[in-house]
Amino acid sequence: MTYRIAGLDPEPFAPLFALDEDALAARRARLDHGFPCRVSLEEAQVGERLLLVHHTHHAVDSPFRAGVAIFVREQAREAALCRDRTLSVFEGRVLSLRGFTAEGMLAGCALVQPGEADAAIRALLAGGHILYIDAHNAAAGCFAARIERDEA
């Protein structure tokens, strides 16, 4: 069983970096510093500008529809794609992995310590009923990335 982890499409976020503080606030967003980017799936560098914005990461017609605040680096121009391995931004964090069916229903979950994500991802996907996994940073609860079966 192989999997892929993809960053978010940067296009919806790019125009927001041109807005001033008031216009961002009207969209419940702001500029910030630090933290991992959900497009590049990398840690932001010290002093790098980030957008902090609400994102509906689980846009399904089920009780599990969900959204949280995410960070997007100003310089993130392309969505990251990682195949059959975890990301460095996963390695130092405790993660909550939430596995969902095609109908958007929770079908399995795991709380994993640093270094345990790969084995837990494979175990969740092994049963065949879980189509994708949403990874969250367990302490803050923020969305980290979507993990999907890789049929390629």
Q: What is the pLDDT of residues 18-37, one digit of tens each?
A: 999 999 999 999 988 778 89
pTM of the model: 0.88
- Give mean pLDDT, residues 121-146: 92
Distance from C-alpha of 97 to C-alpha of 117, rounded to nearest angstrom: 8
Q: pLDDT grade, residue 152 (50/70/90)? A: low
Work out whether the CA dihedral 52, 58, 60, 66 comes out positive or negative. negative
| Three-class SS state of 117 | helix
Contact between 108 and 100 under an 8 Å Cβ cutoff? The reply is no
How many degrees, rounded to 5, is the angle at CA 103 between CA 98 and CA 107? Answer: 35
